[in-house]
Amino acid sequence: MESGGCSPRMNLRVGVGCGWGRGTGSNAQQSRKMTPALPLLFLGCWLAGPSWVLGQYRYPKPSISVSPGAVIGQGETLTVYCLCNCRGAEFLLFRNGNLIQQMNKYEYGGELSFPNMRPEHTGSYTCRYRYNMHPQYYPDPSDPVQVTLAERLPKPNISIAPHWWVRLGLDVTIRCQAPAQHRGLQFSFYKDGTWWLNRMTPAGRPAEIHMGSISREHSGVYTCRSVAVTAPYLWSDPSDPVELLVSDPSLPKPHIRLSPTGVIAPGGSVCVSCLYDGSVRGFYLSTSGDRTRPPSLQGAWHPGEFPLSNVSRERAGSYSCSIAGEQSRFLLSEPSDPTELWVSDPSLPRPSISLSPSGVIAEGANVTVRCQAPRSDALFFLYKPGGLSYRSPTRGVSQFLISSVTGPDAGSYHCSYHLNSTAYVSSEPSDPGELLIASEGETEHPVFAPTVPVTPPPTFL
């Protein structure tokens, strides 16, 4: 054996330092006399390991990276990674040449996070590593990375098109738009608070992320922010969050109801109840009156109740609710069948109501209820407190026929109307029209038979 030692890359001669080998002459004899000491020398060389003094071995140089980037906003979390395939090594982080502290170990090296970035955290970062068996030896440090605290830009706006509530398999586009124009803007997108990806755009153009064939994993909360990559560094606050809700066809549809029913006066109160007989994470309530506003999440109890107080005409609309499954609050059932919330407008003239024949009516007779308004474009509703309301497509004047009246048909009837320009906004009800029937009977919902076809309730959009 002509060469050997503690490292396969070291080249040591026989009888010098920590080596052994085949010699000639007196050297060979001395080598044989030193045989009992060889195991001790070998152990010492193994413990010494590779070094810069005894051999030519060079340790790998680590690399350093930062997330979400070298330009970061104040208050954000900066994570520094020291990357090296160095088993058993300790990793140390330096800022501006000064040791900060030992880094936490993870699979590919070391990491250290700064959860609340401040000006004193900026500077030139490098990292090094060492082995416990050689604490005095440090391989070469990583190349530096300069971390800069960005100044503030106006926060951008984020939106989801075509809608924030989509079915599985459809496509959506997430758009981030800066309110001010800057050259060389980079947009960072975040999902559920974690950095997702970056996009560079020309001046004044929004950044767009197109996601095809939406799956359950795409649901969640999205935000974005902008950064000017040219000096001086400028960074925006995060946008307001937007939720991407995905309909899960495996979840059953709930039911919905309003209490009280009928037309609600401005300033009144109404309770919207979502009904489902099962365990859910929560209930979502949405309305067609405002498709740009995300729905609200109500706690997971049965039934899910949404009290609406101080109702105004802006609250009017077609309401539906969905359940959020136990897996995620962003995975929703298909919407329930809709129910309508109508709000009265005191500025509209009140309609009039009349019954024919009038007075006390014998059981079995037919009664016509006539509603009339001063507006020729009025569409009428006829309802009885505690009962269902009906509407007719005839504008200006509308007649409803109650055939073969019985005791349960008796009671007070009201008319109201709405105009095409004021969807889900109605006039105040008319004075009551009393239907008096000669015989007594139990109180039930009356059966209406309008003289013209009844328009069904509007469908959920």
**Residue 456 in domain:** no
- Give me the mean pLDDT over the 195-204 stretch: 78
Domain end (from 123, 149, 175):
149
**Residue 461 in domain:** no
Task: Look up residue 13 and give its two tokens.
Answer: 């001669």
Q: Give the domain extent around 212.
A: 152-246
Lowest mean pLDDT among 20-34, 114-128, 385-399, 433-447: 20-34
**Residue 275 in domain:** yes
Considering the domain architecture, whether residues 279 and 368 belong to the same structural domain is answered as no
Considering the domain architecture, whether residues 427 and 364 belong to the same structural domain is answered as yes
**Which of 14, 183, 152, 126 lies closest to 73, judged by CA?**
152
Confidence of residue 387 (pLDDT cuts 50, 70, 90): low
**Does 80 score more than 90 pLDDT?**
yes
**Residue 315 in domain:** yes
Please, which residues bridge with residue 72 across strands?
A: 149
Phi, psi dihedrals of residue 265, rounded to the nearest 5°: -75, 150
Q: What is the pLDDT of residue 266?
A: 92
Considering the domain architecture, whether residues 446 and 357 belong to the same structural domain is answered as yes
- Give me the mean pLDDT over the 159-168 stretch: 89
pLDDT tens column, 227-272: 877 755 677 889 999 999 998 888 888 999 888 877 888 999 999 8
Q: State which H helix or E strand residue 30 sits in.
A: helix 26-33
Task: Look up residue 222 and give its two tokens.
Answer: 């999205």
Considering the domain architecture, whether residues 266 and 340 belong to the same structural domain is answered as yes
CA distances from 133 to 51, 58, 59, 245 (A): 11, 16, 14, 54
**Does 33 score more than 70 pLDDT?**
no
Considering the domain architecture, whether residues 114 and 70 belong to the same structural domain is answered as yes
Considering the domain architecture, whether residues 26 and 1 belong to the same structural domain is answered as yes
How far is residue 351 CA from its own chain's centroid? 46
> CB atoms < 10 A from the CB of 187, how many?
25
**Residue 367 in domain:** yes
Query: DSSP 3-state assignment of 33?
Result: helix
* Sign of the dihedral defined by the CA atoms of residues 175, 176, 182, 185, in that order: negative
Look at 87 and 47; give whichever has higher pLDDT: 87
**Does 144 score more than 90 pLDDT?**
yes
How far is residue 93 CA from its own chain's centroid? 35
Task: Look up residue 163 and give its two tokens.
Answer: 């809608």
Q: Are 336 and 258 in contact (CB under 8 A)?
A: no
Lowest mean pLDDT among 41-55, 183-197, 345-359: 41-55
**Residue 438 in domain:** yes
pLDDT tens column, 273-296: 888 887 777 888 888 644 444 455
pLDDT tens column, 399-450: 888 889 888 888 899 888 888 777 788 888 899 999 998 865 444 444 444 4
**Which of 317, 319, 316 lies closest to 306, judged by CA?**
319
Q: Is the pTM of this model over 0.75?
A: no
Pairing of strands 390-395, 360-361: unpaired
Lowest mean pLDDT among 18-32, 51-65, 314-328, 436-450: 18-32
**Which of 147, 149, 156 lies closest to 179, judged by CA?**
156
Phi, psi dihedrals of residue 193, rounded to the nearest 5°: 85, 0
Amino acid at 415: C
Domain end (from 344, 361, 382):
344
Considering the domain architecture, whether residues 445 and 433 belong to the same structural domain is answered as yes
Length of the chain equals: 461
- Give me the mean pLDDT over the 80-97 stretch: 91
**Residue 401 in domain:** yes
* DSSP assignment string, 66-102: EES-SEE-TT--EEEEEE---TT-EEEEEETTEEEEE
Cα radius of gyration (the chain):
39
Q: What is the pLDDT of residue 440?
A: 54
Query: DSSP 3-state assignment of 422?
Result: coil
Domain end (from 222, 246, 270):
246
What is the number of helices (H) and of strands (E) in the chain? 2, 38
Pairing of strands 282-287, 367-372: unpaired
Q: CA-CA distance, 354 to 92, in Å (whole number)?
A: 90
Q: What is the pLDDT of residue 146?
A: 95
Considering the domain architecture, whether residues 340 and 357 belong to the same structural domain is answered as no
Q: What is the pLDDT of residue 20?
A: 31
**Does 26 score more than 80 pLDDT?**
no
Considering the domain architecture, whether residues 145 and 165 belong to the same structural domain is answered as no
CATH number, domain with residue 132: 2.60.40.10
* DSSP assignment string, 350-373: PPEEEEES-SEE-TT--EEEEEE-
- Give me the mean pLDDT over the 208-237 stretch: 85
Q: What is the pLDDT of residue 203?
A: 66
Q: What is the pLDDT of residue 366?
A: 93
**Residue 459 in domain:** no
**Does 299 score more than 50 pLDDT?**
no
Task: Provide the number of structural domains found in the chain.
Answer: 5
- Give me the mean pLDDT over the 144-164 stretch: 88
Considering the domain architecture, whether residues 424 and 357 belong to the same structural domain is answered as yes
- Give me the mean pLDDT over the 122-140 stretch: 84
Considering the domain architecture, whether residues 170 and 204 belong to the same structural domain is answered as yes
- The mean predicted confidence, pLDDT, of the chain is 76
Q: CA-CA distance, 142 to 124, in Å (whole number)?
A: 11
| Strands (E) located in 178-233 | 185-191, 194-201, 207-211, 220-228
Considering the domain architecture, whether residues 27 and 75 belong to the same structural domain is answered as no
pLDDT tens column, 322-374: 888 777 888 888 889 999 888 989 988 999 999 999 889 888 999 999 998 88
Q: State which H helix or E strand residue 296 sits in.
A: strand 296-298
Residue entry with tokens 């001669």 = 13
**Does 75 score more than 60 pLDDT?**
yes
Confidence of residue 304 (pLDDT cuts 50, 70, 90): confident
Residues 6+ apart with CB under 8 A from 317: 287, 288, 289, 290, 340, 341, 423, 424
Q: CA-CA distance, 370 to 390, in Å (whole number)?
A: 13
